[in-house]
Structure 1
Amino acid sequence: MDAIGILKQLKNKGVRFTPQRQAILEFLLQTVSHPTADEIYHHVKANFPGVSLGTIYNTLNMLKEHGHILELSYGDMSSRFDGNPQNHYHVVCSKCGKVVDLHRPLIDMDQEVMEKSGFIILGHRMEFYGICPECRQGEQFN
Structure 2
Amino acid sequence: MTATRSTRQRDVIAQVLGRATGPLAVPEILGLAQSDLPGLGIATVYRTLKLLTEQGQIHPVTLDGETRYEAAGKGHHHHFSCTRCGRVFTLHTCPVTLPSGTVYPGGFVVEAHEVTLYGQCPECAAN
TM-score (normalised: structure 1): 0.66
Q: Which structure would you say has the larger RCO, counting Cα contacts within 8 Å and 6 or more residues apart? A: 2
Distance verdict in 2 for CA 1:70–1:108, change over 3 Å: farther
2:100 to 95, 100, 110: 110
Offset, 1:33: 4.3
What is aligned with 2:47?
58
In structure 2, runs of 5+ residues without a counterpart are 1-5
Q: Secondary structure at the match of 2:24?
A: coil
Structure with higher helix content: 1
Q: 2:122 aligns with which of 133, 137, 140?
A: 133
Report the 3-state secondary structure (helix = DSSP H, G, I; strand = E; otherwise coil) of the residue aligned with 1:91: strand
Gap change, CA 1:38 and 1:84, over 3 Å in 2: same
How much identity, in percent, do the aligned residues show? 29
Runs of 4+ in 1 over 3 A off after TM superposition: 105-108
Q: How many residues are aligned here?
A: 119
State the TM-score, normalizing by the size of structure 2: 0.72
SS where residue 135 of structure 1 aligns?
helix
Are positions 1:92 and 2:81 aligned together? yes
Structure 1: 5+ residue stretches without partners? 1-16
User: Partners in 1 of 2:103 and 2:47 — Cα distance?
Assistant: 34
